[in-house]
Amino acid sequence: MIRYLVNRLALSVVVVFGVSILVFLMLHLVPGDPAVVMLSEQANASDVQHLRHELGLDQPLWAQYALYLERVVHGDLGRSIRLRLPVSELIASRLPNTLELAAASLSLATLVGVAVGAVSAVRRGRLADNLAMVGALIGVSLPGFWLGLMLILLFGLRLGALPIAGNQDGLASLVLPALTLATVPMATIARLTRSGLLDVLGEDYVRTARAKGLTEFAVIVSHALRNSIIPVITVVGVQFGVLLGGAIIVETVFAWPGLGRLLIDAVSARDFPLVQGIMLFISVSFVLVNLCADLVYGYVDPRIRYG
């Protein structure tokens, strides 16, 4: 187990290193100069040149990357060119909002998805199953921005029941963006749960459990579901990793101050240190969340061994 962990962590370092090089190169290869963006229309060429020098943008790419790497190793992600604040401080200020949204949407997706999938499997071929699967198909197909706008129209404007955008109204602000964000994973989880359960419901150990006199609920939850949940854990893990990087579209539609919006604004302004910092954070989170998901497999299914 320890060896497995060490191996995975070592591999993770390689992945993160690779991501950082890719992001660095991509940022420098696309057109757009942060000095021009920052100085806006007021600047002349010597101002731009001066600022490029101040920011180290006039150095060769490898030298810029080496400097960046050296800083990162020392725990310094640099300062945002545009917002002039430490990158780590900016990430820290947006992270709670992103975590809140990710946790809420994923909890909702998992709870509802597993429940609907389970009911659907148990009621296979009946009305509930058909309704659930049509619903899941629609859920997977709905574009987030469209659904978001429709929810704003219905619950925000028409009914006036929920805040339209921002996070100023506490938990109520969370409902619409979390619901929008939860729809696709919820539908995916429902479909996975259903197919996983259908695979195991005919197994001998399920029949044995029923023969022991267990209630159907106990049979499904304690025996069948536990053995069919691995793909769901994978989806939840991957999705959580994705959401930690912020949900750009949903955050934009709902003016939610999370990492996704910070990232897209940074890309638009060619704010190199901020983009690199956020991407580094996202890749580290993604790798770690996936590692955690892999470790949970062993807990859920003791047959899985690491080595």
- Considering only 157, 218, 300, 304, the residue that binds another protein (CB under 8 A) is 157
Angle (CA) 47-48-49 rounded to 5° is 90
Stretch that binds another protein, among 132-140, 164-172, 198-206, 221-229 (CB under 8 A): 164-172
- Give the separation between CA 246 and CA 284, rounded to whole angstroms: 14
- Give the separation between CA 176 and CA 165, rounded to whole angstroms: 9
Residue 243, judged by CB atoms within 10 A of its CB (0-12, 13-18, 19+), counts as: buried
Stretch that binds another protein, among 15-23, 30-38, 67-75, 187-195 (CB under 8 A): 30-38
Stretch that binds another protein, among 115-123, 131-139, 178-186, 254-262 (CB under 8 A): 254-262
Minimum Å gap between C-beta 271 and another protein is 9
Minimum Å gap between C-beta 33 and another protein is 5
Q: Which is nearer to another protein, 152 or 190 (CB)?
A: 152
Q: Which is nearer to another protein, 121 or 253 (CB)?
A: 253
Stretch that binds another protein, among 10-18, 120-128, 159-167, 213-221 (CB under 8 A): 159-167
Angle (CA) 41-46-47 rounded to 5° is 50
How many of the chain's residues bind another protein (CB under 8 A)?
58
- Considering only 93, 107, 208, 222, the residue that binds another protein (CB under 8 A) is 93
Closest of 123, 129, 143, 121 to residue 227, by C-alpha: 121
Q: 């069948």: which residue's tokens?
A: 224
- Considering only 15, 140, 165, 200, the residue that binds another protein (CB under 8 A) is 165
Angle (CA) 220-222-227 rounded to 5° is 80
Residue 92, judged by CB atoms within 10 A of its CB (0-12, 13-18, 19+), counts as: exposed
- Give the separation between CA 226 and CA 248, rounded to whole angstroms: 33
Question: What residues make contact with another protein under the rule CB under 8 A?
Answer: 30-34, 36-47, 50-51, 54, 79, 82-85, 90, 93, 143, 145-146, 149-150, 152-153, 156-158, 160, 163-166, 168, 248-249, 252-255, 257, 261-262, 264-265, 267-270
